[in-house]
Amino acid sequence: MNIHPIFMLLLLSHILGDFYLQPKVMAVRKMEKWSWLIGHGIIHTACLAIILAISTYITIESLYVLLVIGITHVLIDFIKRFVKWKSYTTDQLAHLVILSVVWFIWGESLTVRGFILIEFEYLHKNILLIVLGFLCILRPIGVLIEQGDIWDFSKGQNPPDESQKGAGKMIGYLERIVVYFLLLLNQYAAIAFVIAAKSVARFPEVSKDGAGRTLAEYYLIGTLLSITSVFLITLLLGLLRI
């Protein structure tokens, strides 16, 4: 897949600023207080500014890109306060649409620094794509599953304690990481062993009658959702050869 390196860097800045540089407390408080929302906007814009400064020369176009993305990011998060739906998926799609529009307007006018062009010409451009995919399958996909936009895992289950939630999150991370690199190495058959190993570990819980049957269904949905998300990310980034 032929993706311009600067657009990939714009995606990278969004993922870093909206997920890895935004703690959970900020994600909650920004919906309640202006100070937290502005703080998130500053962090997100600063991350983008650093990436633009490293990869492009400072021009009027790069300033437009910085200002438009930074301001609209805060506006989208602000609008979420007043809408009935606060869908994580809708929010991220809005941000990605803005990134795409900004790229189509000013992207080709950005002056890329020479060493960036040299690295992408002589090194394997898939390195950045692999990093993007790796970052996507961790926090963004994890939040998608936690938010329950696709499936509400809280229905019919007793709320787990914090230690259980932390363990489940780590299992999901490790599962997606293993599947991701198996896909990159074209070791598709080995993915079945990952699913089998997880099933064996959970067998005492899911084999029980009554509540165990419900747990088995939720376990299956969660596992397939997690693995499918990795397939889609690698496919969208052009890393999956099919």
Question: Average pLDDT, stretch 210-231?
Answer: 75
Number of domains in the chain: 2
Q: Would you say residue 200 has pLDDT above 80?
A: no
- For residue 225, which of 156, 137, 129 has the smallest C-alpha distance? 137
* Same structural domain, 24 and 107: yes
End position of a domain, from candidates 92, 123, 154: 123
Domain-located, residue 162: yes
Return mean pLDDT, the chain. Answer: 81
* Same structural domain, 9 and 118: yes
* Same structural domain, 209 and 151: yes
Domain-located, residue 129: no
Note the pLDDT tens digit of each residue in 76-128.
999 888 876 657 888 899 999 999 999 999 988 888 776 666 666 545 567 88
Q: Would you say residue 150 has pLDDT above 80?
A: no
Question: Average pLDDT, stretch 154-171?
Answer: 62
Measured distance CA(147)–CA(208) in Å, rounded:
28
Domain-located, residue 128: no
pLDDT of residue 38: 94
Q: Which span out of 94-108, 124-138, 185-199 was modeled with the highest average pLDDT?
A: 94-108
Compute how many other C-beta atoms are within 10 angstroms of the C-beta atom of residue 53: 13
Note the pLDDT tens digit of each residue in 15-30.
999 999 998 899 889 9
